[in-house]
Amino acid sequence: MSRVSQPAVLLILNNEDIEGLLATGAPADEYETEAEMIAQLVDRLAEHEVSLDRVTGIVAGVCGRMFGPFDEDELHRRRPGYRRVARQIVEGR
């Protein structure tokens, strides 16, 4: 089973910049903690458990815990970004 690397997840999070922090001048390592958490959680999944929906839930959970809490409107705005991040993680495994 291939592992998800924290640097790869960080690159994906930086490219998406869902919270818009890098666009406002935050340092390039702004999402480093979130990348580590996401990589660890995805790596804990068995191969048959890795799915776009499952990984989207992990990304949303980590981001909600670190940057939230979000109301339903805020979550709705972020969901496409979470899904894009998850898709890249799943495809990169």
Sort residue 8 into left (φ over 0), alpha (ψ -120 to 50) or beta: alpha
Q: What is the tens place of the pLDDT at every residue in 75-88?
A: 999 999 999 999 99
26 lies in some domain: yes
CB 2 within 8 A of CB 47: no
85 lies in some domain: yes
79 lies in some domain: yes
Number of domains present in the structure of the chain: 1
Q: Is the pLDDT of residue 2 over 80?
A: no
Find the domain containing 35 and state its range: 6-92
Angle, vertex CA 89, rays to CA 63 and CA 70, nearest 5: 15
Task: Look up the pTM and report it.
Answer: 0.94
The predicted pLDDT at position 1 comes to: 52
48 lies in some domain: yes
Average model confidence (pLDDT) for the chain?
96
The structure tokens 């496409």 sit at 80
Centre a 10 Å sphere on the Cβ of residue 76 and count the other Cβ atoms it contains.
10
pLDDT band at 28 (very low <50, low <70, confident <90, very high): very high
35 lies in some domain: yes
Average pLDDT over residues 8-21: 97
43 lies in some domain: yes
1 lies in some domain: no
DSSP 54-89: HHHHHHHHHHHHHH----HHHHHHHHHHHHHHHHHH
pLDDT band at 3 (very low <50, low <70, confident <90, very high): confident
